Chain A
């Protein structure tokens, strides 16, 4: 009598642990471990590890040449890693490229729209590449044109579109297969501020709908606006990881006082500002004083009889985090 009971006991005890394992796998849609890519002597990505849970907006922030695009290409399985491991929805993109990409929407750094096709046809044809039927694609294409505010351009040629429109079309195209993960490589680089804000708005909506966003940028405001969590990357390595707010808390002060004394004075003024705020950073064109209270710091500067040409108190940003971590500016 107790034998079947034992079996059912085992079942009971094994069930929660099995579903827990499954839960762990489901938790992260992307897991990278010691991801490395070398091109000859150049190490583009130098052993980076990160995990992204479903629904998160995850950012890679770093200057040009940091290895962001290379990382994105490895995630999409169109660049082979030199070493390390990578799992997208539980699959290795190198051995299961087409299968992994069926889950992805990709917005590459450079638009690669099909110039030989019209705007709407770009969406239809791209959908066919995923093996989707026309009965699904026709209404979907119209819906995405609406989303990208390109409905009146449906029959235009691609090269008649502005830069911002092309970018929106590329994003619309990346959504044709209703991806679970959207890879956005510098989605707004080269766009004017208005076009950027339209794009950010679209990306917010996608995030609300539960799409996992993987975003690279070298704009700190973009990272702050869009990312729940990010890694700061420089020279292929992760310098820091966390939410924008926690990174700023950890690596910077609440406020920053920016002072300009003219290019000659800037270099030598450091000694005279010693002791004001928590930290001092001297850049070619200005001096940054990191302080909890910027106005108070400015009063101290005045009290020492120093008269900057201009002064500005602002909140700390990821730019300051990057400066702190690397000693360099993010955008030169």
Chain B
């Protein structure tokens, strides 16, 4: 009935022996690709509606607000002071929002669910994977999704005639940078979360950030102190960065926006790595 009896030779198989003799640290076994492969395999059975809605949401915003509202608003002032259509004004902002949403969803709700309900990470960590392999694999998957959304959205912008410069192609890597910032931070923050109520705080921060980060109108409508508050938030930097790239007009502020995300990524990864032992190894 079983063929295992003949071929099973504990510890004797050269391939398993080789796998055992690899060098590992306590946190990391240089096997992020196994986590990524699992994630890709799981997308086959994943909820395509959720995946697609993540792509269509900003597209619908762009059509309704950009085309609909844009008919009333007319042309507005772009980053360099030039006149651009309202749709062209909000499109890069919506791209930044979708990068944020995708990354936050993957790194918070998804991670929270897999951690506390699906027990996926418990299973992974009973293998020779280390916590860092798992974290990096999950962040990579979040970025991959962000990359697909960004590419799709940029294509839609092109079809709608909102792209006027070759620089606009750089919106794609810039979106991944934004997603990386939010994903690494989001995962670190999720490690503190114990209940669904606490997870709701994330929405409580995200929604106002979406509405007020100069997404639909310029920052100048606010009093000075509100402006400072918004400029301290990550999304505003993402919106401004993509808006500048979309028209190919850069300023010293561009470097500040990019720098903001680089710092966010470094701090986020450090926070996550620091929390991992606590998160996984009780």
Contact = CB atoms under 8 A, between A and B. Distances in A.
A179 interface: yes
A112 B10 contact: no
Interface in B1-54: 1-5, 7-13, 15-16, 19-20, 22-26, 28-29, 31, 33-35, 37-38, 41-42, 45-46
Contacts of A149: 1
B5 A129 contact: no
Contacts of A97: 24, 26, 125, 130, 281
A128 B38 contact: yes
A144 B4 contact: yes
A106 B128 CA distance: 11
Contacts of B194: none
A43 interface: no
A48 B60 CA distance: 62
Nearest to B15: A136
Given A128-B38, A132-B15, A178-B13, A101 B45 contact: no
Contacts of B16: 130, 132, 136, 177-178
Interface stretch (B69-77, B91-99, B115-123, B167-175): B115-123
- Counting chain B CB atoms within 10 Å of each CB, the highest count among A98, A103, A180, A206 belongs to A98
In the complex, which of the residues B4, B124, B130, B282 has the most CB atoms of chain A within 10 Å of its own CB atom?
Answer: B4
A177 B26 contact: no
Interface in B111-166: 118-120, 122-130
Nearest to B134: A129
A304 B217 CA distance: 99
B43 to A, nearest CB: 9
Contacts of B4: 143-144, 146-147, 175, 205, 209
A240 interface: no
Contacts of A115: 118
Contacts of A210: 10
Interface string A110-145: 101111111001000110111111001000000110
B127 A126 contact: yes
A102 to B, nearest CB: 4
A113 B122 CA distance: 10
B123 A113 contact: yes
Given A110-B119, A125-B38, A205-B2, A78 B20 contact: no
B228 interface: no
* Contact residues on B (Cβ < 8 Å of other chain), bracket: 35 or more
Contacts of B192: none
B9 A117 contact: no
A96 interface: yes
Interface in B227-282: 280-282
B126 A76 contact: yes
B62 to A, nearest CB: 32
B10 A131 contact: no
A119 to B, nearest CB: 12
A95 interface: yes
A326 interface: no
Contact of A98 (B11, B29, B38, B120): B29
Contacts of B118: 112, 114-116
B20 A103 contact: yes
A125 B281 CA distance: 22
Contacts of A99: 20, 23-24, 128
A113 B4 CA distance: 22
A116 B110 CA distance: 13
A210 B119 CA distance: 30
Given A102-B22, A205-B2, A114 B123 contact: yes
B19 A98 contact: no
Contacts of B5: 205, 208-209
Interface string A163-202: 0000000000001011110000000000000000000000
Given A102-B19, A103-B20, A146 B2 contact: yes
A143 B4 CA distance: 6
B129 A129 contact: yes
A129 B7 contact: no
Interface string A58-102: 000000000000000000111110000000000000111111011
A130 B3 contact: no
A8 B126 CA distance: 47
**Which among A101, A108, A118 has the greatest number of chain B C-beta atoms within 10 A?**
A101
Contacts of A330: none
Contacts of B1: 146, 149
Contacts of A101: 126-128
A26 to B, nearest CB: 12
29 contacts: A77-B281, A78-B280, A94-B26, A95-B26, A96-B26, A97-B130, A99-B23, A102-B19, A102-B22, A103-B20, A112-B120, A116-B42, A116-B46, A117-B45, A125-B41, A128-B33, A128-B34, A129-B31, A129-B124, A130-B16, A131-B128, A136-B15, A146-B2, A146-B3, A177-B128, A205-B4, A206-B8, A208-B5, A209-B8
Interface of A: 76-80, 94-99, 101-104, 106, 108, 110, 112-118, 121, 125-126, 128-133, 136, 143-144, 146-147, 149, 157, 175, 177-180, 205-206, 208-211
3 closest A-B pairs by CB: A129-B127, A98-B24, A128-B34
